[in-house]
């Protein structure tokens, strides 16, 4: 009899939890329907290589601009930026670090 009670208790606990936690599924399928158009658009503007080249250019230019603002350097010191894909890392000086973190 105790096993039956534990089984019913676990079942009701499961129902309570599923009522309290929202589902992770979507009822809006428009994102899935737009995949074909998105791929066509990427092809129309020059393809993946052109998009990655542009992202690489933006990362290098933005990294240099941020380094000038912070008075530091970009952590990819090669002339071609070969270690930078589409994001860049900048060094932060100790002044900026203490100002941002509050730790000296």
Q: Quote the CA–CA distance of 84 and 73 in Å, as a whole number.
A: 14
Structural domain contains residue 39: no
Structural domain contains residue 33: no
Structural domain contains residue 63: yes
Number of domains, the chain: 1
Structural domain contains residue 5: no
pTM: 0.59
**pLDDT at residue 83 in the model:** 77
Domain of 86, in residue numbers: 47-104
Structural domain contains residue 81: yes
**pLDDT at residue 10 in the model:** 61
The single residue listed with the structure tokens 């393809």 is 47
Q: Is 88 exposed, middle or buried (0-12, 13-18, 19+ CB in 10 A)?
A: buried
Q: What string of pLDDT tens digits covers the 104 residues of the chain?
A: 444 444 555 665 666 555 666 666 666 778 788 889 999 999 999 999 999 999 999 998 998 899 898 888 888 867 777 778 888 888 877 777 677 777 66
Structural domain contains residue 100: yes
Q: H helices within 1-104, ranges in order?
A: 2-20, 30-33, 35-44, 47-70, 94-101
């Amino acid at each position: 009899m105790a096993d039956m009670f534990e089984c019913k208790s676990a079942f009701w606990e499961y129902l309570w939890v599923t009522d309290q936690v929202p589902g992770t599924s979507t009822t809006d399928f428009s994102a899935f329907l737009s995949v074909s158009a998105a791929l066509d658009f990427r092809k129309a503007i020059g393809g993946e290589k052109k998009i990655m080249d542009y992202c690489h250019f933006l990362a290098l230019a933005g990294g240099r601009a941020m380094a000038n603002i912070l008075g530091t350097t970009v952590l990819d010191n090669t002339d071609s930026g070969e270690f930078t894909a589409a994001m860049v890392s900048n060094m932060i000086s100790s002044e900026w670090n203490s100002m941002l973190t509050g730790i000296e």
